[in-house]
Amino acid sequence: MRFLLADDHGLFREGIKLIFEKLQPGIEVFEAETLSETETLLAANAKYDLILLDLKMPGGTGMSSVQRIVEIAKGQPVVVMSGAYRRADVLTCIENGAFGFIPKTLGGQAMINAINLVLNGEKYIPSVICSTEPEEDLEDTSDDSLFEELTTREREVLKHLVEGHSNKVIANILDLQEVTVRAHLKGVFRKLNVSSRTQAVGLALRKGFKA
């Protein structure tokens, strides 16, 4: 596997590489210290299984940097990392195409779980974001009326989706078949007028959804 690790702190990169070794020995890690170096590595048409990007890279301007890297990556999974962040930052990164947002404060095993989730095609959103109240600076406010049409089971599935769980994990938690979870998700998407997991999660977080 090939990972691109973009962060300007050398000690942090060394720590992440140790976590990678626990994830799967022999992972090939390419490093970048600036946004420019990150763009250069991506522009070389190399393919990466995962791109870990610090939210505040030298030469970048936060969210615009995320948009830029997601665009250059052309579908390769980009996961944003940050030590200090707001709830709105997480939502914006996901809406701009990031496959996840990993707090740098996560423990080693939690980070491995988050990376595995992304490698399996899912999104990772830190649970602390799901459990906090909407921030005052967010334009949207809590509005549970949007979710009134959801059945009890659909609300349960959406809750676990917001927590970052894959369909397989949701099926295990709710004692359902995975195909049944997918069917419930289709109902959720239709009733919320969204077309993807990312849009459903973003809407649920912005509107303060509670199961």
Which pLDDT value is given to residue 139?
39
Distance, CA of 14 to CA of 117 (rounded, Å): 22
Domain containing 201 — which CATH number?
Answer: 1.10.10.10
Q: What would the pLDDT profile of 54-104 be if each residue is shown by its tens digit?
A: 998 888 777 888 999 999 998 899 999 988 777 788 888 888 889 989 888
Structure confidence at residue 73 (pLDDT): 93
Range of the structural domain that residue 112 is part of: 2-131
Q: How many domains does the chain have?
A: 2
Check residues 122 and 38 and name the one with the higher pLDDT. Answer: 38
- Decide if 136 is inside a domain: no
For residues 6 and 102, membership in a common domain is answered with yes
> Tens of pLDDT along 99-152?
989 888 777 778 888 888 888 888 888 765 654 444 443 333 445 678 889 999
Enter the DSSP assignment of 146: G
- By the 10 Å C-beta count (0-12 exposed, 13-18 middle, 19+ buried), 154 is classed as buried
Whether residue 94 sits in one domain with residue 42 = yes
